[in-house]
Structure 1
Amino acid sequence: MPARTVSVPVRWGDLDAYGHVNNVAVLGLLEQARVQAFWDPGAPVLPTLAAGTPVQVVVADAHVTYRKAIPYVQAVDIAVTVERIGGASFVIGYEILLEGDVAVKATTTLVLVDVATWRPIRLDEDQRERLTALAPSPMP
């Protein structure tokens, strides 16, 4: 069971010449899901998401597996979980759901960095607890 499922609108411009969501647009859908899941204004999980902040969260790695073409729909549901937590990084798992089927499975590795030095910053205990709460099952 995913920790959080969010609805992300599909834009007309996300479609390619074949009439389905372009593979590059899928990464944009994942980004929107990540922002909704981790920076909810009522309970943000991570540091402020804004230009000029001293700590930023950046994508270090992304893997996407396309299982089914996504035609134009008003929105897709995206299940978001935290699959692994490291020292300064964590892995987010995504499933884009289409009519009850998984159309796309993906992961992104995110890293907290100090903007002044561009070096990784270790996750603090509070951040770890908030990330763990988004895990599909208890993490060791």
Structure 2
Amino acid sequence: MGDHGRVPRHRVLVPLRWSDVDAYGHVNNVMFVRILEEARIAALGTDLLSTSRETGGALLVARQEIEYMLPLTFRIPPVPVDIWVTRIGAADFEMAYEVLDEQDGERVVYAHAETTLFAFDQWKNRPRRLRASERERLQQWADGPIQWRRRRDKAVTAP
């Protein structure tokens, strides 16, 4: 991948749990949030934004959006999740995800998702600006936005 070793999308393998499956036999929509969280933590680690109790740094979720494409059923092999950065702001950034499989050379996408995260100073109890080193590391993960399939204009019209 060009750009001097830049690898924007990271693949994380997330194991499914039997308890993730609901009465309909597929992974429950609420459990997708856990799958995304596990992929994000595995991909980012704790060192990305100096997130630790010692430094008072935290990375908090401000927004999460998921579009379900196909039912995901339980299986023993872990489910692949591709994760990358789509936007970097002053104190926040957005990460995109694809929960997917590759079967017979074809991509099967179960869900697209996007999470807005922000750097937070626990000692001062407020968001903080991203440092230059953090922005640089996030930029290495940058790739295009999610292509939402069913997004509609959110404008409200008066009756």
The TM-score normalised by the length of structure 1 is: 0.88
Residue number in structure 1 paired with 2:40: 34
Residue 89 (1) aligns with residue 92 (2): yes
1:125 deviation in Å?
0.5
| Structure 1 segment 1-140 matched on structure 2, within 5 A | 3-39=9-45, 44-48=47-51, 50-51=52-53, 53-74=55-76, 75-98=78-101, 99=103, 100-136=107-143
On the 8 A contact 1:2/1:79 being kept in 2, the answer is no
Structure 2 unaligned residues grouped into runs of 5+ = 1-6, 145-159
On the 8 A contact 1:93/1:106 being kept in 2, the answer is yes
Deviates more, 1:93-102 or 1:74-83: 93-102
Q: Which one-letter code corresponds to 1:84 in the other structure? A: R
Structure 1 unaligned residues grouped into runs of 5+ = none
Between the aligned residues of both structures, percent identity stands at 39
Distance 1:116 1:15 in 2: 39
Distance 2:33 2:27 in 1: 10
The TM-score normalised by the length of structure 2 is: 0.78
On the 8 A contact 1:6/1:37 being kept in 2, the answer is yes
User: SS of the counterpart of 1:30?
Assistant: helix
Distance 1:2 1:15 in 2: 31
Matched length: 133
1:119 deviation in Å?
1.2
Q: 1:122 to 1:24 in 2, by over 3 A?
A: same
